[in-house]
Amino acid sequence: MIGKPWLKDLEDIVGKDAVLSHPDDLLTYQYDGSIFQRAPSAVALPSSSGQVSAIVKLAGRSGLRIVARGAGTGLCGGVIPVEDAIMIGFSRMKKILEIDFPNRTALVEPGVVNMDLTGAVEKDRYFYAPDPSSQKACTLGGNVALNSGGPHCLAYGVTSNHVLGLEVVLEDGRVCFLGGKSERAGYDMVGAWVGSEGTFGIITKILLKLTPRPEATHTILVIFNEIEQACEAVSSIIAAGIVPAALEIMDQVTIQAVEAAIHFGFPKTAGAVLLAELDGFRENIKVESAALMERCLQAGAKDMSIADTPEDRERLWAGRKAALGALGRLAPNYYIQDGVVPRSKLAQTLRRVRQVGEKYGLTIANVFHAGDGNLHPNMVFDARVPGQLERVVKAGAEILKACVEAGGTLSGEHGIGLEKSEYMPWVFSESDMAAMKRLRGVFSPNGLFNPGKVFPTGKSCGELIAQKSHPALGQDSFI
Amino acid sequence: LTLKTEELDRKVWGMGLESVPPHERALYAVDEKIPKWVVFPKNAEQAASLIKVAAETGAAITLWGGGSVQEMGNTTRQLDIVLGTKHLSGILEHEPADLTITVAAGTPFKQVQDHLSRFNQRLPWEVPFPERATIGEALAGNVSGPSRHRWGTARDFLIGIKVILADGALVKNGGKVVKNVTGYDLKKLFIGSMGTLGLIVEATLKVVPRPSGSLTVNASFSTQEDLFAVLASPELPFLFPEALDYWRLQEAAWGLSARFIGAPEAMKRQADALSKICQGKKPKALIRLEGDGEARWWDRLIHAPRKEIAGATRVRFSLPSSELGGFTAAAIRLFPAALFSGRAGQGTGWMMIPTANVHEPEDPQFKELIRSAQRFSGTLFLESCPPVWKQNLDMWLTPLPETFLLKRIKEAFDPQNIFSPGRFVGRI
């Protein structure tokens, strides 16, 4: 209690059993899926908007900051406190409050796990479309904060396209509902809050769009000798006017790791695997899958499998879903990047990625959302070897630079957080960032929420890591 | 704002901008206010300089694309300069395989669609008067059309923007890639901002392939109860129409129009399923449209709010789509001669009231209409009305509790109130 006079007040707000402050209890909350870690001063587990509001007021009075945390699956250090902070956890705010089929909406608390929402509506043939690979664990609150993506964003859009309304707690403790089931007049504040990385305020309720499930889905797995051919196929498919629900690529390093892990049956010579999914009406899929396979053949496809039952489709996806876990066989740690480039620049950017790997002597595995131009180079390494982590971070920066130079940007779906904040000036000018900060000031004039994120602070990634006792590396990460 | 007239004249004159002669300025009047200057900057730099001049001299600017949404919003408190974007025009970048396009904001909407159609692509977006309306004004007005049922509105396909803020700073947000969480999503604020936050100079948009085929089912019913019973069918979302409109036009029947796209066999199956649902309510007419006839019909629906009744008082409503039937029933009881057209699946549309039926905003029926919308959890916006109404009435007829935040946003981006002061929600 010494030095934490506010702890008693915090317990009065949420109850003694909903406050964690013992160092052992805080261990769980000091990391996410990134290379950073630092424990908060205490964790509060509120169960209502009113309690969140009271915590926000208490923090304001006590000179503490607030960091909201979902499931901690994020990859950018977005929930790592950089100052003394109360962390708000949402494990007691995970109710689906309303499902409204006539209006195709769901009102949820931020702690609801992404996949549980689809689970609640699938018997009525609806689903919640954004599907980050961590969807079995990640929360919808975290998804909104980072504007999460996922393999099926190609056809269905990112989180931002599915958020209709938000209940938020502002810095003064005021609770407001933005947006709603009908279109609201005024500046699109809901749109601006999505992806604001917890720096505007605390989201306490989320109104989401539900999507009707198409009658049929086909999954096509295509094997190429060269990754350039797979990229060429992607460009050619899109240029032909086919927009599949998903278009994913795995490179040779990943394929071999997957093969060693789950014995999928990929040929030894496979240089790239393209996984495409088409959904809709059966007649449309028939036309589209024929055209898609034709394009793949023209690009040099060696082998193709097609699946139209849930079991067979699951089997084709197994390799993709096992990819990250399989990479754990190559080295104890991996570090994932999230650069985006225009789709037509995929092949040239992957060449740059390979060159960066050679320059730093690193194995880089690529498994990525090709249809969106969203790369995920994974650098596998051993953090126990002195200097390796620093090398990996440098290589990651160089890869992101290459993405920016190709007309792309720093993050497609993981967010900026602590990890990439120093790179923001590669993309945005001082005035661009000043305008963003003006917007934050509208909601949080004193910077109470999640300070030190998104914008450069002058500290290098290396310095930030050095502040920690040892880096926590994405063992439980997903992409 | 205290206007320094002489300084303004001297500085604008000194910039050597293209401007319209005094006798033509009336063509750019907004709510009967005639601007002192109507100028057309040649590029973003000139526009930024002009905005700085306005800030220095206390002048207020109204932004002008093609003028197609200029009647909307409250009367500005001050109007000194109309800044026209006709020279900030052109297609700047289009790589077909990326499914994105970057255009200057003053580019006419139709020019962009015509360009894309040569590559068998399109913006899944319709606006009234596309020859005249520019991309910038379609964004600033958050104009949308029937395709929003499937593809969403500008917020769903705008991926990058360049704007000039009130201090003259050229600011970029978003980018040219379809997935992006690099920094805050500032660009969303400019959609529907009606020129009150800054000047949009450039936009990057997602585009989609043109469909291989298109088929529309039109059904009309004797009563609006029958129509809304069909629209409430739980099977309807699973037919995946690209557009789903409802209407009561000059013909006085209550109708729906659903457009399906894709392979012929699939469209036929979708259309058959919808026809079956309609037949349960004994439609007065049930037809299918393709080709030119189909295009003409949708063009009529896109323009119906503007053209169906000349000089109508036009109210835009937004409700949860499940409340559309209830609200429409209440509204037609209050104004039996009113016509309707809207996006049935999105809960938004227009009510066109013949001017002879509504004399002033204090009419009891009109007051009751506003209350009805609130009862059905909706909001009303008066898009067009007799000019005299605008002197005392906030065009956003339903009060919004979040207006205090909208005011803070305006203050953060335009503290001097340069851009159309008073035009927006709550007279901000």
Q: Strand B81-84 to strand B61-64: parallel, antiparallel, or no bridges (unpaired)? A: parallel
Residue of B nearest to A177 (CA): B402
Question: In this complex, do A238 and B99 lie within 8 Å of one another by their Cβ atoms?
Answer: yes
Chain A, chain B: beta-carbon pairs less than 8 Å apart: 246
Residues 170-189 of A with CB under 8 A from B: 176-178, 180-189
Question: In this complex, do B181 and A372 lie within 8 Å of one another by their Cβ atoms?
Answer: no
Helices (H), A334-378: 346-360
- Pseudo-torsion of CA A247, A249, A255, A259, nearest 10°? -10
Closest CA of chain B from A124, distance in Å: 10
- Chain B neighbors of A408, CB-CB under 8 A: 175-177
Residue of B nearest to A340 (CA): B177
pLDDT in tens, B226-246: 999 999 999 999 999 999 999
pLDDT in tens, B91-147: 999 999 999 999 999 999 999 999 999 999 999 999 999 999 999 999 999 999 999
Name residues of chain A where pLDDT drops below 50: 1, 468-477, 479
Residues 189-248 of A with CB under 8 A from B: 189, 191-192, 194-196, 212-215, 235-236, 238-239, 241-243
Alpha carbon of residue A148 to chain centroid:
4
Which pLDDT does position A472 carry in this prediction?
A: 43
Report the alpha-carbon distance of residue A387 to residue A390 in Å, rounded: 5
Predicted confidence band at B326 (pLDDT cuts at 50, 70, 90)? Answer: very high
Question: In this complex, do A411 and B319 lie within 8 Å of one another by their Cβ atoms?
Answer: no
pLDDT in tens, B51-98: 999 999 999 999 999 999 999 999 999 999 999 999 999 999 999 999
Closest CA of chain A from B23, distance in Å: 35
Which pLDDT does position A329 carry in this prediction?
A: 87
Report the alpha-carbon distance of residue A73 to residue A454 in Å, rounded: 18
- Chain A neighbors of B152, CB-CB under 8 A: 157, 161
Query: What is the DSSP annotation of B42-98?
Result: SSHHHHHHHHHHHHHHT--EEEESSSTTTT-SPPPS---EEEE-TTS-SEEEEEGGG
Question: In this complex, do B379 and A182 lie within 8 Å of one another by their Cβ atoms?
Answer: yes
- Chain B neighbors of A132, CB-CB under 8 A: none
- Chain A neighbors of B427, CB-CB under 8 A: none
Question: In this complex, do B178 and A373 lie within 8 Å of one another by their Cβ atoms?
Answer: yes
Q: Nearest-CA neighbor of A318 among A261, A267, A245, A369?
A: A261
Residue of B nearest to A156 (CA): B151
pLDDT in tens, B297-309: 999 999 999 999 9
Q: Residues B388, B394, B398, CA angle at the centre, nearest 5°?
A: 135
Which pLDDT does position A465 carry in this prediction?
A: 62
- Chain B neighbors of A369, CB-CB under 8 A: 179
- Chain A neighbors of B406, CB-CB under 8 A: 186-187, 189
Closest CA of chain A from B265, distance in Å: 6
What phi, psi does B37 have (nearest 5°)? -130, 140
Which of B171, B265, B379 is closest, CB to CB, to A185?
Answer: B379
Q: How many C-beta atoms lie closer than 10 Å to residue A385's C-beta?
A: 12
pLDDT in tens, B370-397: 999 999 999 999 999 998 999 889 999 9
Which pLDDT does position B423 carry in this prediction?
A: 97
Question: In this complex, do A235 and B97 lie within 8 Å of one another by their Cβ atoms?
Answer: yes
pTM, rounded to two decimals: 0.97
Upper half-sphere CA count for residue B393 (Cβ side, 13 Å): 23
- Chain A neighbors of B175, CB-CB under 8 A: 340, 407-409, 427
Average per-residue pLDDT for chain B: 96
Which of B176, B182, B185 is closest, CB to CB, to A407?
Answer: B176
Question: In this complex, do B347 and A181 lie within 8 Å of one another by their Cβ atoms?
Answer: yes
Upper half-sphere CA count for residue B152 (Cβ side, 13 Å): 20
Q: Which of B159, B163, B182, B236 to mutate to test the interface with A (most CBs of A within 10 A)?
A: B182
Residue B14: strand, helix, or coil: helix
Q: Which letter does DSSP use for residue B27 in this model? A: G
pLDDT in tens, A330-381: 899 889 999 999 999 999 999 999 999 999 999 999 999 999 999 999 999 9
Q: Does A164 touch chain B (CB under 8 A)?
A: no
Residues 295-354 of A with CB under 8 A from B: 340-344
ipTM confidence score: 0.97
Closest CA of chain B from A22, distance in Å: 34
Q: How many C-beta atoms lie closer than 10 Å to residue A47's C-beta?
A: 18
Which pLDDT does position A470 carry in this prediction?
A: 41
Residue A135 Cα distances to A114, A119, A296, A477, angstroms:
5, 11, 30, 11
Question: In this complex, do B237 and A342 lie within 8 Å of one another by their Cβ atoms?
Answer: no
Q: Which of B72, B116, B139, B180 to mutate to test the interface with A (most CBs of A within 10 A)?
A: B180
Report the DSSP beta bridge partners of residue B247.
B255, B341
Which of B182, B318, B403 is closest, CB to CB, to A409?
Answer: B182
| Helices first, then strands: H and E counts in chain B | 13, 19
Which pLDDT does position A466 carry in this prediction?
A: 53
Predicted confidence band at B162 (pLDDT cuts at 50, 70, 90)? Answer: very high
Question: Among residues of chain B, what percentage have pLDDT more than 90?
Answer: 96
